[in-house]
Amino acid sequence: MLTLDQLRRNRNVLFWTLHAAGWGAYAVTQSFGALLYEKPLSYQLVIAIAAGVCQGLELGSNAQAALITRGLAEITRLAVAAGGQSATLAGLAGLGDLVLTCTGELSRNRQVGIELGRGRSIEEILKSMRMVAEGVRTTQAALQLAARYSVELPITAQVQRILEGLPPREAVRDLMERSLKME
C-alpha cells in the first residue's frame, strides 16, 4: 500500500502507465479517497454490509437503491467534513465503487450483510469465511472519524448495532422512524 505522500509524488507515472496499458484511468484532483485508505478506512464497505442486510431481509430493489443513495449521502457528509470535495464522490472512485461493492456478487461485505439479514450471527459468519470482510472493522472506525468531525452517520450506526447483536429488522425500523430532515 502506498502512503498519501507516495501517491502524490507518483500519480502522473501511475496515471500514464495505466492509460498506456489500455486501462480507463481517471485523474482525481483531491485526496479524500487516499486519506480514507491511508487511515485505513474504506467506508463504502460499511454501506455494502447494510445493502446486504436489505437483501437478506428481502426488502426489495427499491429499498436497496434507497439505502445506497442514503449511504452516498453519509459518505459525502463525512468526506466534506474531512476536507474532501463532494464532486469526487460522484465519480468512479466514489459512486462507482459504492454501487459495485453494494451490488456485486463477489462483495464479501455484501455477503456478510446478506447473512446477517438472514439471521446468522457475525461470529458465525466470520468463522465460515475464508477471506476478510473489512467492513466489519471499518464500521467502528467510520463512527470514530464521524465523531471527530461531528457528522451523523445513521446507517453506519445501525450497522454497528447489528454487529453488536441487534436484530436487523429492528435496525431497519429505527432508521425508518428517524425524524425527517430537509436536504
Cell numbers of 119, please?
Answer: 439471521
User: Can you list the residues of the chain whose pLDDT is less than 50?
Assistant: 19, 25, 29-41
Q: Quote the radius of gyration of the chain (alpha carbons, Å).
A: 17
For the chain, where are the alpha helices, taking DSSP H only?
4-20, 32-38, 44-56, 61-81, 86-89, 97-103, 108-117, 122-128, 135-149, 154-163, 168-176
What pLDDT does 82 receive?
83
Give domain limits for the chain. 1-30, 31-176
What pLDDT does 89 receive?
80
Q: What is the pLDDT of residues 19-39, one digit of tens each?
A: 455 555 455 544 444 444 333
Q: Give helix 154-163 / helix 135-149 axis angle, nearest 10°.
A: 140
Q: What is the pLDDT of residues 61-86, one digit of tens each?
A: 999 999 999 999 998 898 888 887 78
What pLDDT does 28 receive?
52
Class of the CATH domain delimited by 31-176 = mainly alpha
